[in-house]
């Protein structure tokens, strides 16, 4: 379920028409053509549509597509014995086709868009429907229908509840931002009541459920994080692993970063990789294998893995290192591992990494840099500290993979809205995964992120995602220049995605960086950087 345009949501938004980015081709321009009644662009394509009716026609086209997708039997009937009206009169044509797909009598309260007022004609709960809401309704019901293959008829009641849920989530978030907790609490109760009437197994019900939880956490437990941030490192590793298996985002990140590192290490015999978050070390077998098979033979590979300390005396970093060493031994790659246990990345000092001046260094950060963006006024900004010591290592390449989202805005409502869009898209993509228990645990992994973004503040909020454009500015300002990822990485990423059975993933190239998204909404971005040499590269003692 994708909420396309953030401007359409939010209780305080004006009702003016927003860009119709969600309409299906032909693309519509929202220019107000007061003089000419017929839209000029569509007329060029052979369609006569009044400018005032553009959005309505677009919505109906979407409904028609949804109906066609979900009832193939009717489609063949349609092809054989229906009178088709003149298709160049797009408005009446789509109306006539839509009337062929009338809902069965069991669902009498059909949503019919009244052409004049653009309000729903038959509806029991919509008294103050805002003009822009139907657009959201279309999008949600489209996605919900594509998700529930069994439910070919989405009841009007459920569509209605889904919309109301989103509406109320925004209202509640706005109350929280204003500090009006009593109203927020009553909103929460209403939403929890609504949840019982909505399908929470998938679609908007599920995502809304998580956001409602996060909001209630914020209101009742405060912004300190509490139990959400208290998950043990061991738990986190397990959830991370399941997230790795359930959807391709982490695989994309690993493979793309490995390809960049492989290309950067070409011709070097002594290489050192610093991994900012080792976890189970799932990224490195592929790199070890690629190095083993590279023309000219494998180099000496050193890997330094940073990770949280294990509480119960187990040295999980060392165990992973041993496993990787065994793999490297099997494929005849000289390998050395070092583990650095640190609960926060800013606690790591460059001397702990023991970088040898003669070796080529690669720094690999998979979704770690954003954790450093929380600013503590008492000390130096941690991101600047870390970026400066990375630079002092003079790495051959630094691979950065981050979530492509704007979850670090100061305003709570903006952040909430962004997160709602982002995680709805992500849950949408997760629906395609059918392998349990990966899917369920991956959802818990994402749910924890949601809870952190929504319910925490200050130092407890570590999920401070920023979009690629902001990272570009930040890294360029810190003395790094971008490296283009190249066509091999793109090819590999495209192949990897094709392997996943879901058809909605898309890889895009963005000025030398690669992004992976669901239905053209990028969700994760991979980029590569190199320190700008200024002649004074120094190595830590």
Partner 1 sequence: MVQTHHCEDHETVGENKEKRPKFFINDHVDILIEILKRLDGRSLCVAASVCRLWCTIARNDSLWENLCFRHVSPPPSSVRSVVLALGGYKRLYTGCVRPVRSRLGRMRKASWAGDEVQLSLSLFCVDYYERLGGSNSNGRLVGESSPSSLMFLCKPVNV
Beta bridge partners of 362: 273, 397
Least Cβ distance, residue 356 to partner 1 (angstroms): 26
Is the torsion defined by CA of 85, 86, 92, 95 positive or negative?
A: positive
Number of residues that bind partner 1 (CB under 8 A): 43
Q: Which is nearer to partner 1, 319 or 414 (CB)?
A: 319
Q: Looking only at residues 282 through 341 of this chain, which bind partner 1 when binding is defined by CB under 8 A?
A: 282, 285-286, 288-290, 292-293, 295, 297, 314, 316, 319, 322-324, 326-327, 330-332
Question: How near is the Cβ of 526 to partner 1 at its closest, in Å?
Answer: 16
Kindly state whether residue 280 participates in binding partner 1, applying the rule CB under 8 A. yes
Q: What b-and-e string marks burial along 281-318, b requiring 16 or more CB atoms within 10 Å of the CB? A: bbbbbebbbbbbeeeeebbebbbbbbbbebeeeeebbe
Q: How far is the CB of 515 from partner 1 (least distance, A)?
A: 20
Q: Which is nearer to partner 1, 259 or 515 (CB)?
A: 259
Q: Which 488-517 positions form the footprint of partner 1 (CB under 8 A)?
A: 491-492, 495-496, 498-501
Residue 124's Cβ-side half-sphere holds a number of Cα atoms within 13 Å equal to 7
Smallest distance from partner 1 to CB 305, Å: 14
What gap in Å lies between CA 256 and CA 486, rounded to an integer? 10
What SS3 class is residue 257? helix
Interface characters, 434-473, with partner 1 (x: CB under 8 A):
xx--x-----------------------------------
Tell me the window of 29-37, 132-140, 300-308, 429-437 that interacts with partner 1 (CB under 8 A): 429-437
Q: How far is CA 152 from CA 69, 144, 239, in A?
A: 9, 10, 33
Q: Which two tokens stand for residue 179?
A: 């500090």
| Of 65 and 315, CB closest to partner 1 | 315
User: Among residues 116 and 312, whose Cβ is nearest to partner 1?
Assistant: 312
Closest CB 270 distance from partner 1, rounded Å: 20
Only segment of 66-74, 127-135, 276-284, 371-379 that touches partner 1 (CB under 8 A): 276-284
Nearer to partner 1, 7 or 286 (CB): 286
Smallest distance, Å, CB 517 to partner 1? 18
What is the bridge-based pairing of β-strands 335-341 and 300-307? parallel
Tokens of 510: 């963005």
Cβ distance to partner 1 smaller for residue 226 or 285: 285
Q: Nearer to partner 1 by C-beta: 248 or 307?
A: 248
Q: In this structure, how many other beta carbons lie within 10 angstroms of the beta carbon of residue 186?
A: 12
79 vs 499, which CB is nearer to partner 1?
499
Q: Between residues 248 and 504, which has the closer beta carbon with respect to partner 1?
A: 248
In whole angstroms, what is the distance from residue 537 CA to residue 541 CA? Answer: 13
| Closer residue to partner 1 in complex, CB, 288/362 | 288
Scanning 93-101, 183-191, 409-417, 433-441 for contacts with partner 1 by CB under 8 A, the matching segment is 433-441
Q: Give the Å distances, CA to CA, from 140 to 134, 202, 293.
A: 10, 12, 48
CB of 316 to partner 1, least distance (A): 7
Chain positions 209 to 248 lying near partner 1, rule: CB under 8 A, are 234, 238, 241, 244-245, 248
Quickly list H helices, 84-155.
90-100, 133-147
Give how far Cα 530 sits from Cα of 277, 385, 462, Å: 20, 17, 26
In the complex, least distance from residue 159 CB atom to partner 1, rounded to whole angstroms: 29
C-beta closer to partner 1: residue 318 or 519: 318
Distance of alpha carbon 513 from alpha carbon 509, whole angstroms: 6
Please tell me the total number of residues recorded for the chain in this structure: 541
Determine contact, residues 31/52, Cβ cutoff 8 Å: no
Cβ at position 488, least distance to partner 1 in Å: 8
Query: Which residue from 72, 70, 66, 42 is spatially nearest to 54, judged by alpha carbons?
Result: 42
Which one-letter DSSP state was computed for residue 281? -
Least Å distance, CB 248 to partner 1, is: 8
Beta strand 521-531 pairing with 505-510: unpaired
Rounded Cα distance, 254 and 418, in Å: 26
Give the footprint of partner 1 on this chain (CB under 8 A): 234, 238, 241, 244-245, 248, 255, 258, 280-282, 285-286, 288-290, 292-293, 295, 297, 314, 316, 319, 322-324, 326-327, 330-332, 433-435, 438, 491-492, 495-496, 498-501
């Amino acid at each position: 379920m994708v909420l396309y345009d953030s401007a359409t949501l939010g209780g305080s938004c004006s009702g003016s028409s927003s860009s119709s980015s969600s309409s299906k081709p032909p693309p519509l321009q929202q220019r107000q053509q007061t003089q000419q009644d017929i839209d000029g662009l569509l007329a060029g394509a052979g369609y006569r549509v009044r400018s005032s009716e553009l959005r309505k026609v677009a919505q109906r086209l979407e409904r028609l597509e949804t109906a066609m997708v979900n009832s193939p039997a009717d489609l063949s009937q349609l092809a054989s014995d229906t009178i088709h009206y003149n298709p160049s009169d797009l408005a009446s044509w789509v109306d006539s086709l839509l009337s062929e797909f009338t809902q069965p009598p069991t669902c009498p309260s059909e949503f019919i868009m009244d052409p004049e007022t653009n309000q729903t004609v038959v509806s029991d709960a919509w008294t103050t429907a805002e003009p822009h809401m139907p657009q959201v309704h279309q999008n949600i019901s489209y996605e919900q229908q594509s998700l529930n293959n069994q439910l070919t008829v989405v009841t009007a009641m459920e569509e209605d509840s889904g919309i109301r849920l989103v509406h109320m989530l925004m209202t509640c978030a706005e109350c929280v931002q204003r500090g009006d907790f009593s109203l927020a609490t009553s909103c929460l109760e209403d939403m929890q009541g609504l949840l019982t009437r909505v399908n929470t197994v998938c679609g908007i019900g599920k995502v809304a459920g998580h956001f409602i939880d996060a909001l209630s956490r914020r209101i009742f437990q405060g912004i300190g994080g509490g139990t959400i941030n208290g998950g043990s490192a061991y738990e986190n590793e397990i959830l991370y692993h399941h997230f790795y298996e359930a959807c391709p985002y982490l695989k994309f990140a690993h493979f793309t970063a490995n390809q960049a590192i492989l290309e950067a290490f070409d011709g070097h015999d002594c290489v050192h990789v610093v991994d900012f978050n080792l976890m189970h070390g799932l990224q490195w077998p592929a790199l070890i294998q690629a190095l083993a098979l590279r023309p000219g033979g494998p180099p000496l590979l050193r890997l330094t893995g940073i990770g949280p300390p294990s509480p119960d005396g187990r040295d999980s970093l060392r165990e992973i290192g041993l496993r990787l060493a065994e793999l490297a031994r099997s494929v005849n790659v000289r390998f050395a591992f070092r583990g650095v246990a640190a609960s926060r990345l800013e606690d790591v000092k460059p001397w702990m990494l023991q970088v040898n001046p003669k070796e080529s260094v690669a720094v690999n950060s998979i979704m770690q840099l954003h954790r450093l963006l929380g600013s503590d006024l008492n000390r130096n900004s941690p991101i600047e500290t870390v970026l400066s010591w990375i630079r002092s290592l003079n790495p051959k390449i630094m691979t950065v993979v981050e979530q492509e989202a704007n979850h670090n805005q100061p305003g709570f409502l903006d952040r909430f809205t962004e997160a709602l869009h982002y995680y709805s898209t992500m849950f949408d993509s997760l629906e395609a995964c059918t392998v349990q228990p990966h899917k369920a645990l991956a959802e818990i992994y994402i749910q924890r992120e949601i809870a952190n973004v929504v319910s925490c503040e200050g130092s407890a909020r570590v999920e401070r995602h920023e979009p690629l454009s902001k990272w570009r500015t930040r890294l360029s300002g810190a003395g790094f220049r971008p490296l283009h990822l190249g066509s091999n990485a793109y090819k590999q990423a495209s192949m990897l995605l094709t392997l996943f059975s879901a058809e909605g993933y898309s890889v895009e190239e963005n000025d030398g960086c690669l992004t992976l998204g669901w239905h053209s909404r990028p969700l994760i971005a991979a980029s590569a950087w190199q320190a700008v040499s200024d002649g004074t590269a120094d190595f830590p003692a």
